[in-house]
Amino acid sequence: MPACAAAGEYRAPKSRTNLSEYWWFCLEHVRAYNSAWDYYKGMSPGEIETELRRDTAWQRPSWPLGSLGASAWEDAMARDPLGLLNAGRLRRGRASQDDQAPPAELRDPLATLGLSWPVTFAAVKTRYKELAKRHHPDANGGDKAAEERIKTINLAYAALRTRLADEPASAAAAD
Question: Is there a single domain that holds both residue 154 and residue 81?
Answer: yes
Task: Say if 2 falls within a structural domain.
Answer: no
**42 Cβ neighbours under 8 A, 6+ residues apart:** none
Q: Rounded distance, CA 146 to CA 4, Å? A: 64
Specify if 110 maps to a domain: yes
- Say whether both 31 and 108 belong to one domain: no
Q: What is the extent of the structural domain holding 23?
A: 10-56
Domain check: are 86 and 113 in the same one?
A: yes
- pLDDT for res 21: 92
Residues 119 and 169 in one domain: yes
Sign of the torsion formed by the C-alpha atoms of 84, 123, 125 and 161? positive
Residue 51 burial (10 A CB sphere; 0-12, 13-18, 19+): middle
Residues 169 and 87 in one domain: yes
Side chain identity at 159, as an amino acid letter?
A
* 114 Ramachandran zone, left/alpha/beta (phi>0; psi -120 to 50): left
Tell me if residue 167 falls in helix, strand or coil: coil
Q: Confirm if 169 and 117 have CB atoms less than 8 A apart.
A: no
Residue 38 falls inside a structural domain: yes
User: What percentage of the chain reaches a pLDDT higher than 70?
Assistant: 73
Q: What is the DSSP string of 128-140?
A: HHHHHHHH-GGGG
> Looking at the predicted structure, is the pLDDT value of residue 44 above 50?
yes
Q: Is the pLDDT of residue 78 over 90?
A: no
Mean pLDDT of 83-110: 65
Residue 65: pLDDT band (50, 70, 90) is low
- What is the mean pLDDT of the segment spanning 148-173? 74
Residue 116 lies in a domain: yes
Could you tell me if 162 and 101 lie in one domain?
yes
The CATH number covering residue 107 comes to: 1.10.287
pTM of the model as a whole:
0.40
Q: Identity (one letter) of the amino acid at 66?
A: G
Is residue 26 domain-resident? yes
Cα distance between residue 163 and residue 156, in whole Å = 11
For residue 121, the model assigns a pLDDT of 85
The whole-angstrom separation of Cα 66 and Cα 60 is 18
